[in-house]
Amino acid sequence: PQELLQRVHGVWQTEAQQQQIALRQQAAVDLPTIDVDPERMMQVLNNLVGNALRHTPSGGQITLTAGRDGASVVLAVRDNGRGIAKEQLPLVFERFYRVDPDHAEAAGGTGLGLAIARSIVETHGGTLSATSDGLGHGTTFEIRLPCAT
């Protein structure tokens, strides 16, 4: 898990700096291994961080975390950006859904990324969820994956 965070942090650090967004990573020590295709999990994390960068203003912050919760490793991408209205949260993983359709094309969104990301995570026996305290309060995307046995 730590290696995945380091890789995704390296991919996005320059872009985050250019947008004046702090990109941080925090990983618990001695995390158990997870049995995943690293390239597919990078695809998921890249999608989540890319979305966070598109929806976080200059001066904002994005934090990548890895920890353990029982028999699961939990990877999270948390931002303090635009946030998502509570009534839209259940819809964000639907194909072609866009939280802000008026600006999605300008931001480069197709409405497929989160649906694909969730499918990849579920193929690995995990879950992908989103939480937000509403508009203006940022968003957290959480990946839960079973520890390798």
Q: What are the structural domain ranges in the chain?
A: 2-146
* Ranges under pLDDT 50 in the chain: 103-106
Domain 2-146: CATH superfamily is: Histidine kinase-like ATPase, C-terminal domain (3.30.565.10)
Which pLDDT value is given to residue 22?
98
Which pLDDT value is given to residue 90?
85
Which pLDDT value is given to residue 147?
95
% of the chain surpassing 90 pLDDT = 75
pTM of the model: 0.89
What one-letter code names the amino acid at 93? F
CB distance 66 to 2 below 8 Å: yes
Q: What are phi and psi of 117, to 5 degrees?
A: -60, -45
Which pLDDT value is given to residue 111?
64
